[in-house]
Amino acid sequence: MRKFFRLFLLIFIFQVTSSPSYSSIDVSKGFSKLAEKLMPSVVNISATTIVETRSQEFPFQFPPGSPFEEFFKEFQQNQGPQKRKSTALGSGFVIKENGTVITNNHVIQNAEGIFVKFTDGKEYEAKLIGTDPVSDVAVLKIQSDKKFPAVKFANSDNAKVGDWVLAIGNPFGLGGTVTQGIVSAINRDINMGRYDNFIQTDASINQGNSGGPLFNMDGEVLGINTAIFSNSGGSVGIGFAIPSNFAKNVIDQLVKFGETKRGWLGVRIQTVTKEIADSLALKETIGALITDVNKDSPADKAGLKPGDIIIEFNGNKVKTMRDLPRLVGEAPVGKAASLKIWRNKTEVSKTVVLGRLEDTAEFKNKIPAKSNEQTLKSLGIDVRDIKEEDKKNRSKLEKQTGVIIQKIDPNGAMALLSVRPGDAIVSLQNNSIKNVKDFEKQLNKQIKSGKKTLLLTIIDLQNTTRYIGVKIK
């Protein structure tokens, strides 16, 4: 199954160059000078969270019926869930001398402690300034009065396919790692959200590179490394970075407000096909076709109607349908925006005062309640009911109900947890599981309640009981 996964996916605006000189570095002599200059501004990030788990079964085996067996079984049962620290590793970079650091939201999500470490070995505690799960951007502030080496953002609109780039970060905890590549593609939609507009690169990016910078040859941050496409979890030369121009807008708001304030138009849209363009006498296959207008929305008040095609927003051409949400989202809330629409074979100009997306039901419900199938996908497993033949082969299943793991997604949440097809799941959060339907129901309930980490009781193929904590993706 094809899958994109996250790597383990701000008021201050920097001066950007209008036309980067990508020839300023002689690549035939390598990238050592550029890397040496940039590495002091890149940090390793460790984020500590508290998870609940159960102690493993006692390692010694006792004869059946032995009093020691009963003693230790009772001992384990009385222990209950144990809390332990879990540390996520990622990357980040300094954008301001006062210690303002940028990383991915998923690196520091739900963290109780955040620390940044520089290439010289010095480590500092960092405070979360603001985070935006939608764009996967987070802003931190190092808790120190020292001045830190900072980097600037590039103008990502100037990026071209084939441009040289450097990725610097903390893959697999190996800090200060530099990889080189090119811009493989721009404006990539990888189905991660409404604002997908990623820069694709073949520079080697792995788990731990999340939140790290993708530099151009002028030593400016072209993007924030966020995701890879891989069947194994390792780099296959297809990585994705959030473009700097999009990130800067988010960063600006997070620093100023501690949250994002995205523009909202209030329309439903679809792709303009060649057939639709021809039927409406539109010379180019461009724009976003309005299929519905929310009542009393900014679009409704501006007189927009179903059938209109938005071809330009605030002077920016809407080349495809997916351009519009990004352009609207970046526009100031409460300010007038200019539109050009195609209506009745004629170009018409409109002005609309944008609302705030975060105030709408559309935004609040942007992540729908997961179906039963989706909840299982969040764990990355396929399961079936425990059968009588399973009970015959494993004594611990004789009086148990639950599910048997049939398939494990190599990119899923349980892929790295030492579970195998054939293992049985008999409880969730210490609640017994009856069958697949019950498992799905319980799982859905836990996810709706906001649980990020779940405790599962496993009886494996060796007839051993284990407890695992799994982080939901």
How do residues 416-457 score in pLDDT, each as one tens digit? 677 888 999 999 888 999 998 889 888 888 877 777 778 888
Per the model's pLDDT, the better-predicted residue between 422 and 363 turns out to be 422
Provide mean pLDDT across the span 323-349.
93
**pLDDT for the residue numbered 44:** 95
Domain assignment of residue 20, yes or no: no
Long-range contacts of 269-275 (CB under 8 A, 24+ apart): 269/310, 269/321, 269/324, 270/321, 271/320, 271/321, 272/309, 272/321
* Co-location of 355 and 387 in the same domain: no
> Which of 41, 91, 106, 390 is an active site residue?
106
| Domain range for 356 | 263-363
* Co-location of 182 and 304 in the same domain: no
How do residues 128-137 score in pLDDT, each as one tens digit? 999 998 889 9
> Which of 136, 163, 308, 390 is an active site residue?
136
> What's the total number of domains in the chain?
3
pTM above 0.75, yes or no: no
Place of tokens 């998870």: 51
Domain assignment of residue 22, yes or no: no
Provide mean pLDDT across the span 63-91.
63
Provide mean pLDDT across the span 321-350.
93
> What band does 370 get if pLDDT is binned at 50, 70 and 90?
very low
Domain assignment of residue 144, yes or no: yes
- Going from the C-alpha of 398 to that of each of 61, 243, 395, 459, the distances in angstroms are 20, 55, 5, 12
Which of these three, 335, 363, 391, is where a domain ends? 363
* Co-location of 378 and 357 in the same domain: no
- Cβ count near 387 (within 10 Å): 10
* Co-location of 236 and 295 in the same domain: no
* Co-location of 358 and 414 in the same domain: no
> Percent of the chain scored above 70 by pLDDT?
81
The answer to whether 252 is a known catalytic residue is no
Compute the half-sphere exposure of residue 154: CA atoms within 13 Å on the CB side of its CA: 26
The answer to whether 21 is a known catalytic residue is no
Domain assignment of residue 142, yes or no: yes
Which neighbouring-strand residues pair with 267?
293
The domain that contains 441 carries what CATH number? 2.30.42.10
How do residues 220-255 score in pLDDT, each as one tens digit? 999 999 988 866 667 788 999 999 999 999 999 999
* pLDDT at residue 70 greater than cutoff 60: no
Which of these three, 205, 236, 258, is where a domain ends? 258
> What band does 14 get if pLDDT is binned at 50, 70 and 90?
very low
* Co-location of 386 and 350 in the same domain: no
How do residues 76-88 score in pLDDT, each as one tens digit? 555 555 566 678 8
Euclidean distance between CA atoms 32 and 414, whole angstroms: 39
What dihedral angle (degrees, nearest 10) is formed by the CA atoms of 243, 246, 247, 252?
A: 160
* Co-location of 182 and 294 in the same domain: no
* Co-location of 237 and 215 in the same domain: yes
The answer to whether 378 is a known catalytic residue is no
> Percent of the chain scored above 90 by pLDDT?
51
The domain that contains 176 carries what CATH number? 2.40.10.120
How do residues 289-314 score in pLDDT, each as one tens digit? 999 999 999 999 999 999 999 999 99
* Co-location of 234 and 306 in the same domain: no
**pLDDT for the residue numbered 237:** 85
Domain assignment of residue 23, yes or no: no
Euclidean distance between CA atoms 298 and 308, whole angstroms: 15
**pLDDT for the residue numbered 351:** 96
**pLDDT for the residue numbered 98:** 96
State the average pLDDT for the chain.
83
> What band does 112 get if pLDDT is binned at 50, 70 and 90?
confident
Domain assignment of residue 24, yes or no: no
Euclidean distance between CA atoms 131 and 111, whole angstroms: 12
Provide mean pLDDT across the span 197-217.
92
How do residues 141-186 score in pLDDT, each as one tens digit? 999 999 999 999 999 999 999 999 999 998 888 888 999 999 999 9
Domain assignment of residue 316, yes or no: yes
Phi, psi (deg, nearest 5) at residue 299: -65, -40
> Which of 41, 156, 184, 210 is an active site residue?
210
Which of these three, 204, 226, 258, is where a domain ends? 258
* Co-location of 284 and 301 in the same domain: yes
- Going from the C-alpha of 141 to that of each of 125, 130, 214, 254, the distances in angstroms are 9, 10, 21, 12
Q: Among 117-121, 241-245, 263-267, 380-384, where is mean pLDDT lowest?
A: 380-384
Compute the half-sphere exposure of residue 196: CA atoms within 13 Å on the CB side of its CA: 15
Domain assignment of residue 376, yes or no: yes
* Co-location of 213 and 332 in the same domain: no
**pLDDT for the residue numbered 9:** 37
**pLDDT for the residue numbered 82:** 58
* Co-location of 290 and 309 in the same domain: yes
- Going from the C-alpha of 222 to that of each of 163, 246, 298, 375, the distances in angstroms are 11, 10, 34, 35
* pLDDT at residue 103 greater than cutoff 90: yes
> What band does 72 get if pLDDT is binned at 50, 70 and 90?
low
